[in-house]
A and B are shown apart, each in its own frame.
Chain A
Amino acid sequence: MSFINYASREINCKIVYYGPGLCGKTTNLQFVYQKTSPDAKGKMISLATETERTLFFDFLPLALGEIRGFKTRFHLYTVPGQVFYDASRKLILKGVDGVVFVADSQEERLDANIESMENLKVNLEEQGYQLDKLPFVIQYNKRDLPNVTSMEELRSLLNPNNVPEYEACATTGEGVFETLKAVAKLILMELKKGGAGGGAMG
């Protein structure tokens, strides 16, 4: 749920990175953080375990610039991918404006990707959202590794609706900004459709 502040002329949107454990969600945010100039970003917060697994969420606020006199701010969140953190994932999805699904391209993670995608749909529906209606993009991460599933197969299993999709290597940053830009664009297009009052605090 985006927040249009006419008083401060700001618009805030929430983007959630979803996907199976260790697929590279946190790495995506870390790369964005490293490559963004200090005046365009806030602090990155990571609520993680001692072994650097996301425990609750990562949070990165970005200020991208102005559109029609409104400062655009995007709040990037990651969910914890490990299966047993499902309750936390549901909480992070609340108020989401756009979703990035980060798939782990490694062969042995194929089932985990499918399971996570199903889990995303179920958790969204539980809160009255439909994935097909949300700004949504898919990133096939870890394309640098030798044991990856072919793009054709990933596509047919994970992207039946042909949403924008990107190959990536989050550790080097390949595809990271393309992915972010794509989802941000879809969110802004969605806002374009809405009215000034938007229907307020549903």
Chain B
Amino acid sequence: MSSSHSSTFVMYDEELRKINMVSEKLLREANAKVIFLVDKNGQLITSVGETEHLDTTSLASLTAGNIAATGGLAKLIGEKEFSILFHEGEKDNIHISIVGGRVILVVIFDTRSSLGLVRLRVKKASDDYGQIFEDLAKKAAQEDKDGVPSPFAEITDDDIDNLFS
């Protein structure tokens, strides 16, 4: 594409399945309630666990805002970024970390778990996530190089107008 910044983040079935397997395992081993992955721009990638009563879209946007703001703070004091954030509530806690450079991993847990356990398990899972995201990036780059057409290559003005009707 025209510049590196207009590039698109893609997700395929295969990688999503792998990611969800890592998340399910982390959920079990860390005794967590919910786990979700968010793109640094605030787009939810996937979530597992007790998500029915959670507004995951809002959570994703605020988490990314949170990471962006603390990243800004880090730079001001000469740090690259704060790679782990932890927020403690009365019942539920949130553990936020960055995996594979640009994806945010969020773990929500309560008293059935502990910060120490979550930390330990997140550390282990981070390598697995990192590998999958690396593969994903390679695959997308390859498809781009091979000139696999965009699924939107054929869209028409009518398609777009219909969205707003």
Where the two chains meet, the residues of A that have a C-beta atom closer than 8 Å to any C-beta of B are 1-8, 11-12, 14, 42-43, 45, 47, 56-57, 59, 61, 64-65, 67-70, 72, 75, 87-88, 90-92, 94-95, 97, 127-130, 133-134, 177, 181, 184-185, 188-202
- 25 examples of A-B residue contacts, CB within 8 angstroms: A1-B9, A3-B8, A3-B11, A6-B11, A8-B11, A14-B42, A61-B61, A64-B163, A68-B159, A69-B151, A88-B72, A95-B40, A184-B164, A185-B160, A194-B6, A195-B1, A196-B144, A197-B144, A197-B145, A199-B141, A200-B7, A200-B9, A200-B141, A201-B133, A202-B7
Quote the shortest CB–CB distance from A97 to chain B (angstroms): 8
- Restricting to B118-144, which residues have a CB under 8 Å from any CB of A? 133, 136-144
State A70–B137 Cα separation when bound (angstroms). Answer: 21
Interfacial residues of chain B within 1-44, with CB under 8 A of chain A in the complex: 1-13, 15-17, 39-43
Q: How far is the CA of A47 from the CA of B2 in the complex (A)?
A: 33
Among residues of A, the one whose C-beta sits closest to the C-beta of B136 is: A200
A45-B62, A181-B164, A201-B137 given; 7 more Cβ-contact pairs under 8 Å: A1-B41, A3-B11, A3-B43, A188-B160, A191-B152, A191-B155, A195-B149
B55, B68, B146, B152 — most chain A CB neighbours (10 Å): B152
B3 touching A129 by the CB < 8 A rule? yes
Known: A72-B163, A75-B61, A195-B144. A200 touches B137 (CB 8 A): yes
Residues of A contacting B137 in the complex (Cβ-Cβ under 8 angstroms): 200-201
Is A197 a contact partner of B142 (Cβ separation < 8 A)?
A: yes
Contact yes or no, A47 B65, CB < 8 A: yes
Task: Please tell me which one of the listed residues B9, B42, B71, B133 contacts residue A2 in the complex, with CB atoms under 8 A apart.
Answer: B9
Q: How far is the CA of A190 from the CA of B153 in the complex (A)?
A: 10
Point out the residues of chain A lying under 8 angstroms from B71, CB to CB. 91
